[in-house]
């Protein structure tokens, strides 16, 4: 694809405009998410149920979709502490590195 510098500038301007629209849309979604969570918490008695694993969750089933609000957990490992516990050779065995390209337009 061969385009002129003028066309490239237009594409970057269009991208920037769409990026701003995306940010605004994401902010609107976050605001709606807060309202949905507030509703679930305020109506806890009506929304409280259990999931397939037997854990308590909040759930509302609407006309077109449903909302569930449940606790989750994430485990992380302190990389520096792991390096202290393992030899350099053992650390290399469990280490995973991802490589990827990143486009930044500002």
How many domains are there within the chain? 1
The whole-angstrom separation of Cα 63 and Cα 54 is 25
Residue 57's domain comprises 5-71
Residue 103 has a pLDDT of 78
Contact present, 94 and 86 (Cβ < 8 Å): yes
pLDDT digits 0-9 by tens, 5-64: 999 999 999 999 999 999 999 999 999 999 999 999 999 999 999 999 999 999 999 999
Asked whether residue 81 is assigned to any structural domain, the reply reads no
For residue 30, being part of any structural domain is answered with yes
100 is a domain residue: no
With cut-offs at 50, 70 and 90, classify the pLDDT of residue 1.
Answer: confident
């Amino acid at each position: 694809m061969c385009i002129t510098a003028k066309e490239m500038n237009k594409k970057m301007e269009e991208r920037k405009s769409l990026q701003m629209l995306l940010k605004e849309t994401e902010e609107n979604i976050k605001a709606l998410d807060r309202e949905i969570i507030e509703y679930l918490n305020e109506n806890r008695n009506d929304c409280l149920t259990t999931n397939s694993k037997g854990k308590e969750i909040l759930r509302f089933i609407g006309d077109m979709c449903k909302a569930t609000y449940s606790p989750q957990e994430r485990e992380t490992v302190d990389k520096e502490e792991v390096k202290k516990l393992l030899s350099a050779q053992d650390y290399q065995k469990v280490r995973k590195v991802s490589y990827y390209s990143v486009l930044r337009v500002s």
